[in-house]
Amino acid sequence: MPMELLHDLKVPHDQDTRARQDFVSTLRGYILNDMAAGMKSRYREAVEPILTRDLGRAPATQDEVHAAMKHDLFFKFYSAVRYNAQEMVWRSVIPGIEAALPDMRAKAEALGARAGGSLTLNPELELPENVTAVDVHLMPGVYAAPDTPAAGAVYDNGLAVFSAGFMGRELNDIGMSMANYVRKRFPDFAPADILDCGCTVGHNTLAWARTYPQATVHGIDVSSSVLRYAHARAGSLGIPAHFHQMDATSLAFPDTSFDVVFSSMFLHELSVKDIKRFFAEAYRVLRPGGLLVNMELPPNQALEPYDQFYLDWDCYYNAEPFYRAFRDQDYAGLTQAGGFAPEDFLQFTVPQYTYMDDADFTDAVQRPASIDGETGRLSATLQWFGFGAWKR
Amino acid sequence: MDQILSMVLELAAELWVVRERVFILEAVLKKQGVAAAEAVETYVPTEDEKAVLAKMRAEATANIFRTLNREHKTVT
């Protein structure tokens, strides 16, 4: 039985579809753990020695590793199976969603009204090219659909299959881990207004609301479709949050409106130029003493060439064309480009809040960042990577 | 590649044979007064059954790819 969503927008899937979703989740787990480990040992034992011999030195860049691995049968299988699994994720949820959509559209508005949150759409907002030009992460192109919660449903149901149970029952472990890191690490910090940028279905937005129940929480996204879904989902879960259709590179909020600006798995969807624009906007809307914090994959400069190559797979094979350019950046430099001071940069790794007991999590939070080839990867020893800066 | 394609198509045909048989089985049971299709559709596995299914799935998946996991010869 695949993981059932915990709110009233959940879509009924028939037995054959549930079995198919289970198969895809198991396949994803196999790819990311067993095949990944097999491929790494294949590299070490069979590919790296030949590459080293041909180069006359150890490989120094991920491009050298990639060029060698591209011809290797194991990589070809890994890549083809992973690509297929990605398509299978979406295909396992879309038919059920299409059948449930009329009912979902009818319910969405009423659900949204339940919890005291809000939804503010902007039909004038021009969708940026990074969302319209490509089926990002191979998700069929409904981010652009204006009048339906369909994109949110595809993302929510798809993520449940994709994450294979690694992200918690509300698919919010990233948000819970990041927000609780901040709460534990900086116990005197009491944010009153929190902004989640690129919030999609609000799964991590609500995690901040749960962690800081006194705060007012906002989420923005360029897609009205995901926001319609997010608003209804939050209402169904009984958590007030305010969703706005906005572009993070040009926020329609006044200066000094927020104490936290957050993003999760968002920066890699933007060009480096747009990341800098977003960080400048974050700086502008943060109050002094506020925090910019982003969850992402760790920077390439912290990793061996093989691990850089491994984590940039999505850039080349999963329709995430901006990933590599982002991960090649000096992350501290990115925050400085936004106006943050170098000494206010922070980066950290944090284990999964959802699956740890409180005492262990509190201990883990005090340790310095520990980045290696496993960081950010869905596995049994998962650690999320975060970085950002304080506005002083 | 061509040979693998033929094999995949034969496998698809074999799988269809099984699926059609399940369909007919459910229809035959219904005629005999057993609402098997509905029972399957609404069946909620126990936690133990879920664990058994998860283990079966993981083993079947590993089996499909077992030839990729042969010992890698170290290059000398």
Q: Which domain holds residue B23?
A: 2-69
Please give the C-alpha separations between residue A185 and each of A188, A189, A357, A362, in angstroms, as whole numbers.
Answer: 9, 9, 16, 8
Nearest to A50 among B57, B72, B75 (CB): B75
Residues of A in contact with B54 (CB under 8 A): 22, 26
Neighbour tally for B15: CB within 10 Å: 10
Please give the C-alpha separations between residue A23 and each of A2, A144, A260, B3, B17, in angstroms, as whole numbers.
Answer: 9, 29, 39, 26, 20
Give Cα A10 distance to the centre of its chain: 21
| A29 CA: distance to closest CA in chain B (Å) | 9
pLDDT confidence of residue A265: 95
Task: Tell me if A30 and B62 make a contact (CB, 8 A cut-off).
Answer: yes
| A174 CA: distance to closest CA in chain B (Å) | 25
For chain A, give the percent of residues with pLDDT over 90: 77
Which positions in chain B have a beta carbon within 8 angstroms of at least one beta carbon in chain A? 40-41, 43-45, 50, 53-54, 57-58, 61-62, 65, 68-69, 72-75
Cβ atoms A307, A372 nearer than 8 A: yes
Q: CA nearest A3 in B: which residue?
A: B50
Burial class of residue A312 in the structure, from the number of CB atoms within 10 Å of its CB (0-12 exposed, 13-18 middle, 19+ buried): buried
**Structure-block tokens of residue A228:** 């319609």
Is B75 a domain residue?
no
Least Cα distance to A191 among A296, A295, A287 occurs for A287
Burial class of residue A317 in the structure, from the number of CB atoms within 10 Å of its CB (0-12 exposed, 13-18 middle, 19+ buried): middle
In angstroms, the CA A97 to CA A155 distance is 11
Task: Tell me if B73 and A74 make a contact (CB, 8 A cut-off).
Answer: no
Give pLDDT tens digits for A227-256: 999 999 999 999 999 999 999 999 999 999
Average pLDDT, chain A: 93
pLDDT band at B7 (very low <50, low <70, confident <90, very high): confident
In angstroms, the CA A230 to CA B55 distance is 34
Give pLDDT tens digits for A339-391: 999 999 999 999 999 999 999 999 999 988 888 877 887 766 789 999 999 99
pTM for the full predicted model: 0.91
Q: How many domains would you assign to chain B?
A: 1
Over residues B38-57, the mean pLDDT reads: 94
Is B34 a domain residue?
yes
pLDDT above 70 (res B72): no
- Give strand pairing partners of A195: A218, A261
Asked which of A70-84, A301-315, B5-19 is least confident by mean pLDDT, the reply is B5-19
Nearest to B61 among A26, A38, A77 (CB): A26
What contacts A226, CB < 8 A, 6 or more positions away? Answer: A143, A149, A151, A152, A155, A199, A200, A201
pLDDT above 70 (res A21): yes
- Give the side-chain half-sphere CA count within 13 A for A17: 19
Nearest to B61 among A30, A38, A42 (CB): A30
Residues of A in contact with B45 (CB under 8 A): 1
Nearest to A27 among B40, B61, B74 (CB): B61
Is B76 a domain residue?
no
In angstroms, the CA A247 to CA A256 distance is 18
pLDDT above 60 (res A26): yes
Task: Tell me if B68 and A74 make a contact (CB, 8 A cut-off).
Answer: yes
Cβ atoms A17, A96 nearer than 8 A: yes
pLDDT confidence of residue B75: 57
Task: Tell me if A26 and B58 make a contact (CB, 8 A cut-off).
Answer: yes
ipTM above 0.90, yes or no: no
Q: CA nearest B47 in A: which residue?
A: A1
Beta-strand relationship, A118-120 and A242-245: parallel
pLDDT above 60 (res B74): no
Is B74 a domain residue?
no
**Structure-block tokens of residue A285:** 């809307």
pLDDT confidence of residue B13: 87
More confident residue, A74 or A319: A74
pLDDT confidence of residue A162: 92
Please give the C-alpha separations between residue A135 and each of A26, A97, A200, A318, in angstroms, as whole numbers.
Answer: 24, 18, 15, 9
| A34 CA: distance to closest CA in chain B (Å) | 8
pLDDT confidence of residue A315: 81
Over residues B47-71, the mean pLDDT reads: 88
| Cα pseudo-dihedral A135, A163, A5, A103, rounded to 10 | 20
Domains in chain A: ranges and CATH: 1-392 (3.40.50.150)
